[in-house]
Structure 1
Amino acid sequence: MSLPETAPPPPRDVSVATLDELEPGNYFPLSLGSETLRQNALDGLVASWSMRRPFYIRQNGILSVMCGRARDVREVWLDSARFTVEVPRREGYEILDMFGGLESVLQMDGARHNRIRKLMNPSFTRAGMEALKADADRIIAEKLDRIARIGPAFDAMKDFAEDLVTRVMLEASFKLTPDHCAIFVTMQQEMNKLPSYVAGEPLPQSFIDAGLAVREAVDDIVRRRRADPGIDLISSLITAQEDGQSLTDAELFGQINSIATAGIGTTANTLAGGIMMLCRNRNQLELLRQEPQLIDGAVGECLRFHGPGITSFVRFATEDTEVGGTRIPRHMPVYVSAQAAGFDPTEHEDPFRFDIRRNNRSMLTFGTGIHHCIGQRLATYILRTALSGLIRRFPDMRLADSAFRPAYSGLTGELAPLMVPMLTH
Structure 2
Amino acid sequence: MDLTPLRSSRDFRLLWFGELLSSAGSQIAVVAVFVQLTELTESLAVVGLVGMARLFALALGSFLGGPLIDTRDRRRLLLGAEVCQIASSAVLLIGALIGDPPVALVYVGAALTAGFGGFAAATRSAIIPNVVSRAQLPSTLSLNQLMYNTTMIVGPAIGGLIIDGFGLSVAYAVNVVSFVAAIVAGFLIKRQVPKQEFLATEARRGSFAHGWSQLTEGFRFLRGQRVLKSTFYVDLIAMIFGMPRALFPVLAITEFGASTASKGSVAGAMFAAVAAGAVIAALTTGWVRHVQRHGLAVLWAVAVWGLGIILFGLSDGVLPLALASLALAGAADVVSAVFRGSILQSTVPDNLRGRMSSVNILVVAGGPNLGDVEAGLVASAFSPVASVVIGGAACIVGVVVLSLIIPELARYRAPVASEAKS
TM-score (norm 1): 0.29
Higher helix share: 2
Q: Which one has a bigger Cα radius of gyration?
A: 1
TM-score (norm 2): 0.29
